Chain A
Amino acid sequence: MSRNLKEKFQLSAKEYQDMVQQKKPRPPLLKNMVVAFVSGGLICLLGQLVLNFFIGMGFTTQEASNPTVAFFIFLGALATGLGVFDKIAHHTGAGTAIPVTGFANSITSAALEFKREGFVAGVGSKMFLLAGSVIVFGVMTALVIGLISAVI
C-alpha cells in the first residue's frame, strides 16, 4: 500500500508516520484540561442550582432531575440555534461536550444543518447522525446488565 512512499523516498509507512508525529504541534494539554474543568464544572454548578430550584418547587430529588435535564437540553439547543454553541465549544471542548448540553448540541446541529434537505428527508432522518450511537450503545449496555440482573 505504501509502495510509492518506499520506492520514491525510501521510507516505510511507520517511518513517515514518525516524521509526521514530530512535526505535529502538541495540543495545549494543560490549558485544555483547565478550561474543560472550569467550564464543565460551571455547567454542573448551574445544574445543581437548577436542581435545587425544582426541589424547592416541590419535586423530590429523584423527580427534579427530569426538568433539570430538560432545561439544559433546551439551553444547549438554543445556544446551537443562535450559532454560539460551536464558538464557545471551540474553547471549552469537553467542558460543553460531556454534560448533556453536548448531547443537545449534537442533535440540534444535525437538525439545523439538514433542514436544507427538507423536514422529512433532512431534519427527521438525520437528526440523530451524531447522537445515535450514544442512545444505541446506552440501550445495549442496559440490555446486557438488565438481563444479567434479571437472571441473577
Chain B
Amino acid sequence: MEYLLAFVVGGLFCVVGQLLFDLTSWTPGHVLTAFTVAGGLLGGVGWYDKLIEFAGAGASLPISSFGNALVNGAMSEAAANGVIGVLTGMFELTSTGVTAAIIFGFLAAVVFSPRG
C-alpha cells in the first residue's frame, strides 16, 4: 500500500511539473525553484510533513521536500535557540543532499566527459 501511495503521489508531483513545462514558458529552473518554495511554504504550516507521513518517498523525493527540509531546520532551531536558530539550523536536514550533490557531481566531472 505504501508503495502504491509513493508511486501515485510522486507521479502526481511530476504531472504538475510537466503541466508547468508544457503550458507555460517557465524554464526548468523556474519550475524547480517554484516547487522548492512551495514545499517550504507547505512545510511552514506543517502540511508537508503530514504528506511525507502519508506518501513516504512519493513526497520526500520530489525537490519540494528540499524546501520543506530547509524550513523545518530553520524552525526547529529557532524554537530551541531563538531567532539565530534560523541561520544555524537551516541546513541541518539538507546537509546530506547538498553535500552529496557536490561530491558526486565533482567526481563525475573527474571521471566522465560530456558526450553531447
Chain A residues with CB under 8 A of B41:
141, 145
Known A-B contacts A40-B14, A94-B18, A142-B86; A48 and B58 likewise in contact (beta carbons under 8 Å)? yes
**Which applies to chain A's interface (DSSP): helix, strand, loop or mixed?**
helix
Interface size on B, residues (CB 8 A): 75
A-B contacts counted at CB < 8 A amount to 267
Question: When A37-B14, A50-B57, A142-B70 are in contact, do A80 and B108 touch as well, CB less than 8 Å?
Answer: yes
Asked if A135 and B14 make an inter-chain contact with CB atoms under 8 angstroms apart, the answer reads no
Q: Is the interface of B mostly helix, strand, loop or mixed?
A: helix
For the complex formed, measure the closest distance between the CB of B98 and the CB atoms of chain A, giving whole angstroms.
7
> Which residues of B come within 8 Å of A, CB atoms?
2-3, 6-23, 28-29, 31-33, 35-37, 39-41, 43-44, 56-58, 60-63, 65-67, 70-71, 73-75, 77-79, 82-83, 85-86, 89-90, 94, 96-98, 100-102, 104-109, 111-115
What are 18 A-B contacts with C-beta separation under 8 Å? Answer: A36-B18, A41-B10, A45-B57, A48-B3, A48-B57, A68-B60, A69-B97, A70-B97, A77-B101, A83-B112, A100-B66, A107-B105, A112-B108, A112-B113, A133-B32, A138-B94, A141-B41, A146-B78
